[in-house]
Amino acid sequence: MNIFLGLTWILLGSGLLLYEPITGNPGPGIKLGDSTLNAGWLALLLAGWNGARLWSSFSFQKNDQMRRYALMQRSRTRQSEERPIHEEFRFDDTNPPQPK
């Protein structure tokens, strides 16, 4: 969706910026005090915003995927390790220690 909106804003912004030089008529603008800002700049700003959102979503997905992979590797390592069993911490009565 962000790609579609970004491309739409780029096309709209480019069209609005090129409208005045091609036709000679001033295009739609935003009044800022005594000057007028071409609306194409606003459209290009929105295209940049959609590009930033697209980049952040890809970045989040990649970080999430790397985090899951690291967690999976950690759990595999823990499962494959042989841990020593300390007799003083066994509470299953299979071989109770003799009192001293």
Q: How many domains does the chain have?
A: 1
* Contact criterion met (CB below 8 Å) for 82 and 48: no
As a whole number, mean pLDDT of residues 78-95 equals: 69
Instruction: Find the helix or strand (DSSP H, E) in which 28 lies.
Output: none
Checking if the pLDDT of 9 tops 90, the result is: no
Checking if the pLDDT of 44 tops 90, the result is: yes
Mean pLDDT of the chain: 82
Is residue 52 in a domain? yes
Is residue 86 in a domain? no
pLDDT confidence tier of residue 15, bands split at 50, 70 and 90? very high
Is residue 94 in a domain? no
In 3D space, the residue among 38, 45, 41, 59 whose CA is nearest the CA of residue 5 turns out to be 45
Checking if the pLDDT of 47 tops 90, the result is: yes
Alpha helix ranges (H) inside 1-100: 2-23, 39-80
pTM: 0.57
Domain enclosing residue 12, as ranges: 2-74
Beta bridge partners of 35: 32
Give CA–CA dist 14/30, Å, rounded: 16
